[in-house]
Structure 1
Amino acid sequence: MIEKILPPWVASAEAFDDPPGVTLFPEEEAAIARAVDRRRREFTTARHCARQALAQLGLPAVPILPGERRAPEWPDGVVGSITHCAGYRAAAVSLEALAVGIDAEPHEPLPDGVLTAVSLEEERDALTRLGGQIHWDRMLFSAKESVYKAWFPLTRRWLGFEEAHITLVPSGTFTARLLVPGPLVDGRELTGFTGRWLVADGLVITAIALPKSPAPQA
């Protein structure tokens, strides 16, 4: 499902349950030694998806440990992203991208009070003009999560919810305008991201893939 909103130069794998018999590397086991069962299952299946995606790139299975701010540590030359929520786990990786960010959420309204905490007033005003049967508040939250996941490996800096302005487009895309100085990419300051979104099977999924310059050919 997630491959529908990723370019062909990004490999992905997903799971809608936690398959039995999946094992972790000893280093990964150590990283979640004190985790509760739910966290352990999320972590294990997400790593399983990540190794499936790496295999599509012709790369061997390796430990994928949580690093700074729990961002996954990928093999040299690889960028990627992991997401999980109730009933869904996925990973996306690429050798041809500068950054990848993915996020999945249940397709339901955000809990009371969350939208105000994670959005700008201008964004909330824009949501009221979007119609249809989509929970746009959850979509906005997911897009911001994908933006952060693409941003952090480039900068190693935190990005607050209020530091990027998201514009959601009903046709299935979104743009993110950075409200703080971005990193230099090919000698230019990065000012934002573009991404795609999908609603299916009770899920909201968003994805960003920032290509190297020039963009890889399909």
Structure 2
Amino acid sequence: MIGGALRALLPAGVGLGLQPLDVPAPPLWPGEAEAVRRAVPARQREFAAGRAAARVALRDAGLPAASLPVGPDRAPLWPAGICGSISHGGTLAAALAARKSDWPSLGLDLEPALPLEEELAGLVRAPGDDDGGVLPPALAAKLIFSAKEAAFKAQFPLTGLWLDYTEVALRLAPQGFTLTLGRATLHGRWTLAEGLFATVLVIGAAEARALPARTAQLPPV
């Protein structure tokens, strides 16, 4: 099952929450609805499921549930001293949460395990990407996309960098992946369960110190 497979990727201190997208999610908490007030119903359902999963992840990490509004960079605003990540894939929303004192940042991505079209793969792959022969090329491209999504989500709160997929090389291995940002070599894990790729990157204190200093970049228009 996807829950057990995801749990196996996580170190101690990281909470996990899951919420199906094909059933009604619990109501949003104060301060959250404004972010999707004008969104189409499907996006509203996805958003609500993600917030519900995040509150489960907070409780799973031994933390109080909280409202998670959207910040200026469109990322969730986690409570002080807490980090987290939310993703949606297939019919599932999933979230991670942890104390920053344990893990400075987290990244999670879910993607249907389907081949990536060649023209889209060209927008994802960097010249130095290495799929390690773990999957057929088109399927490996989809996994590389997911792994970079997880990694970029994890590094952004610490660096403020909006990275281009083609500028960061990534190496796949069975059940793992690595990439380098600045002086930091980041290590992630992946699994395939119930037709979904799930990729996770957890940044520790030493890796956080080696990342490039935070910038004041704004999101791309």
Q: Same fold by TM-score, threshold 0.5 exceeded? A: yes
Asked if structure 1 preserves the Cα contact closer than 8 Å seen for 2:17 and 2:60, the reply is: no
Q: CA deviation at 1:136?
A: 1.0
Indicate the residue corresponding to 1:115 in structure 2. 121
- Call closer, same or farther: CA 1:177–1:213 in 2, change over 3 Å: closer
1:196 maps onto 2:189 in alignment: yes
SS in 2 for 1:63: coil
Asked if structure 1 preserves the Cα contact closer than 8 Å seen for 2:107 and 2:201, the reply is: yes
Indicate the residue corresponding to 1:175 in structure 2. 178
- Call closer, same or farther: CA 1:162–1:21 in 2, change over 3 Å: closer
Instruction: Give the alignment's TM-score, normalised by structure 1.
Output: 0.85
Runs of 4+ residues over 6 Å off in structure 1: none
Over the matched positions of the two proteins, sequence identity in percent amounts to 35
| Mapped partners of 1:12, 1:131: distance in 2 | 27
- Call closer, same or farther: CA 1:148–1:133 in 2, change over 3 Å: closer
What is the root-mean-square deviation in Å for CA atoms of aligned residues? 2.1
One-letter identity of the residue aligned with 1:106: P
Indicate the residue corresponding to 1:16 in structure 2. 20
Asked if structure 2 preserves the Cα contact closer than 8 Å seen for 1:50 and 1:82, the reply is: yes
Indicate the residue corresponding to 1:185 in structure 2. none
> Which structure 2 residues correspond to residues 200-215 of structure 1 after superposition, within 5 A?
200-212=193-205
For structure 2, which runs of at least 5 residues remain unmatched after alignment?
208-221
- Call closer, same or farther: CA 1:25–1:134 in 2, change over 3 Å: same
| Mapped partners of 2:105, 2:25: distance in 1 | 31
Q: CA deviation at 1:86?
A: 2.4
For structure 1, which runs of at least 5 residues remain unmatched after alignment?
182-189
SS in 1 for 2:23: coil
Q: CA deviation at 1:60?
A: 2.6
Asked if structure 2 preserves the Cα contact closer than 8 Å seen for 1:15 and 1:49, the reply is: yes
One-letter identity of the residue aligned with 1:84: H
| Mapped partners of 1:58, 1:173: distance in 2 | 27
| Mapped partners of 1:176, 1:91: distance in 2 | 22
SS in 1 for 2:104: strand
Paired positions, count: 201
Q: CA deviation at 1:37?
A: 1.1
Instruction: Give the alignment's TM-score, normalised by structure 2.
Output: 0.83
Q: CA deviation at 1:69?
A: 2.8
